[in-house]
Chain A
Amino acid sequence: MAPRRSHAEPVPTATSGGATRAWRAAWRREPGRAAWTAIAIGSLCVMLGAWAWATRPGGAIPALFLPPPGDVAASFVRLVSRPYLGSTFGAHVLSSLDVVIGGWLLAGAVGLPLGIAMGWWRRARWIAFPLFQVLRPIPPLAWIPLAIVWLGIGEPARIFVVFVAALVPWVMNSMQAVHSIDGLLVRAARTLGASDRQILTRVVCRTALPTLVAGARIALGNAWTTLIAAELLAATSGLGYIALNASRTLEMGILLVSMLVIGVLGAAFSFGMQALARVFAPWSRGART
């Protein structure tokens, strides 16, 4: 392929065929670990530098459009040092975590047994699966107005919406996990004299565990995303509430800090669940889905 020219590396003079070939080959090779890290850090620094340069006083981008990195850092300090919108930053974060974990666990308590039953018993699947097929295309966010009319703008409405968002991945993954188990394992267990209950608990649930954990991870991700939207619409605390308020009062630094914290927590959930999968189901080779 034609060599791509970048400013970071010397442009080849390409007088000899060998140099061109080496240049081409370099583009098709994964850089080593050290080079990888160096390029990654360099790329981040360049982006940060470009951000700072473009938003400098008198720069191309006004601070009201995108504040300079220094302002964002200052806003972070301001946010954690003094209460904002009635409570400390920690309390806002806790309020968000409260709802997301509550709704997620509630959905798991309903969805996990339901999904396993739907995967295991054909009749349960026949009855419940079509209902989910009908309800699934409705985005969880579309439930927010209904939740507000039904339950007001308090915490129950948010827990309900998070529950709806998390329920579908819990159910679908558990069902898939149990349903797709190799029938050979079940028959082998039966041949060895295992009862139905033993097969369900000792063979099926364990084999399905990696997929179940993957479902839990997706459910948590959905729950988090949905909660932020719910907090934008109906809340008196939480990170989404901070973000909406900061945008109304044009405190761009605080808005960006709240977005970053939302992103960091979302990433922490995802990586935490992956770590959990490695602890509870070490036999899963890599995380699927």
Chain B
Amino acid sequence: MKTRVITRGDPEWPVHMDEIGGLPPPEQLYVRGKPIDPSRAAVAIVGTRRATVAGLDAAASIAAAVVREGWIVVSGMARGIDAAAHRAALEAGGSTVAVLGTGVDICYPPRNTALYDAIGQTGTLISEYPDGTPSARWNFPRRNRIIVGCVPAGGPVVVVEGGVKSGALITARYAIDASREVFAVPGSYRNAMAAGPNELIRSGQAALVASPDHLFEALEVQLHSRSVPSAMPAVDGLSPFQKRLLLLMDDVSTTPSRLQVESGIAWSELSPALASLEIRGLVSKRISGYEVTASGARARRCLLDAPGAESLADPLPGTGSSG
């Protein structure tokens, strides 16, 4: 692959790059892969590297939905949220732009090599640094303004997960200064990685996005495609206790010992219930505990919408905290 150098006035030059608030726009950009089409709608999706399963899920579903509308997904190719957004865009057959903090000939982080290659083939890799520039931590916040510059003025920048001092929040601040529309995916108060987006929403700087449709509504987009409702997981087969367990879990991984304390159920009953939930693909066991999967999250929503959801939180009759 060859690296092209583009400057202002080039047909490929992202014209919005000059409207990035008070920040200095780049003099030139180094590009690999497909040419950038500055007229196409784009959305930036940014977030933490330490994402939870729920965060990855949100990034992927938003990316897939906007790609179906023919939009371009812009992100920074870091681990976690960035990678999930790029991947989902590519898998949905869409185009994606990765703005790197290194030279475009370098894949950083190295574990994203497969993604880097795929973006180079069907998407675009851009950077303001010449080939051979290694990763340096001070380059990454600066490249965030270029992510913003790839989105037209008034266009959307979505913050999925991030702490209150994260790079994702830096991007959000650049985006606000550059009068882009900032959106944030809310999360549980227990989830440290939801603190950033929650704060953006609380302070009124960002609009809440809990589904891709919220994004389209806010931008008053006429949808080309009907969004495909995902298959509802069967929650009928779950026992009351299994339902209750599922509701006790949230975005962050929950350890079995915590579940034990919160449910007050003996381990001998908790253990098979957890295994059943896992066999149904609703939760997934990781070293740090159980996390709700995408279909688990849908099942939770089903349960909470169903009549009588309140009673699920009550203690179960006939079960005490016996040894």
Chains A and B come from one and the same complex:
no
Q: Which residues of B contact A (CB under 8 A)?
A: none
